[in-house]
Amino acid sequence: MKIIGIVGRAYENKDGEKIFQINEAVRLALANYNDITAILLLPTNNSLYPDLEMGTDEITDLDKQKLDYVLNFCDGLIVPGGSNWHKFDEYVIDYAIKKDIPLLAICAGFQALCCMDATSKNKFDMTKKLLDDTHYENKTTYKHTINILENTILEDIIKEKKIPVNSLHHDYIDFNFKNLKTCAISEDGLIEGVYLPNKKFILGLQWHPEYLMDVYSQKIFNYFIAKIKDA
């Protein structure tokens, strides 16, 4: 049995209760793998999620000890989409890279991965670049296409040069990277996929394969799971 740790996301429900969750689509994407168990990765103190006005987004030495103890049990990691990402997400990503644990980073997770490796950290508002909704609000249907770059991990996975994807992001990535390589670009020139060479599996995707679960999404998850089993 292999364990995949999924970073929790913070929100406040209609009753004003503070909740940590993962999107059901992420859980369902893993549910059909009989030898995979998913666990929710939670913050270790009240400071790690300023979304819920719980602190300053700082990680202490004690937090690191607690997180390392839990992460040590994980054979794979997912940093999913969300409204924001935090130091918690970055710590999990850094742990995956250092320990060479397969990591799938989606949407906000993708942006966190990119920012951590950028030569300069900037966040770009989509509304300043695009005048339409080409990249936002389409969960379960295709919104636009991406071009998959040759000789990249995504080409190895998908075996196609161009595929349709959904899209749910407000911000975009326009960075120079230190180590990451781009593997997918939208038709209007936005970075949609990145990976880290010479690692088992460090892949970031701007779109949400878990909502689509089409043939391309299944290939991505199958490849991710295979790398976990090979580890």
Give the mean pLDDT per block of 10 residues along the chain (231 residues).
94 84 93 95 74 69 93 98 88 97 96 89 53 67 93 97 90 86 93 96 97 97 96 71
CB-based contact 201:223 (threshold 8 Å): yes
CATH number where 94 lies: 3.40.50.880
> Nearest-CA neighbor of 83 among 103, 111, 105, 59?
111
pLDDT at 54: 57
Q: How far is CA 46 from the centre of its chain?
A: 23
CB-based contact 221:208 (threshold 8 Å): no
Helix (H) or strand (E) segment spanning residue 1:
none
Give the pTM: 0.92
Give the C-alpha separation, 53 to 47, whole Å.
8
Give the chain's domain count. 1
3-state secondary structure (DSSP) of residue 200: coil
What range does the domain containing 164 cover? 2-230
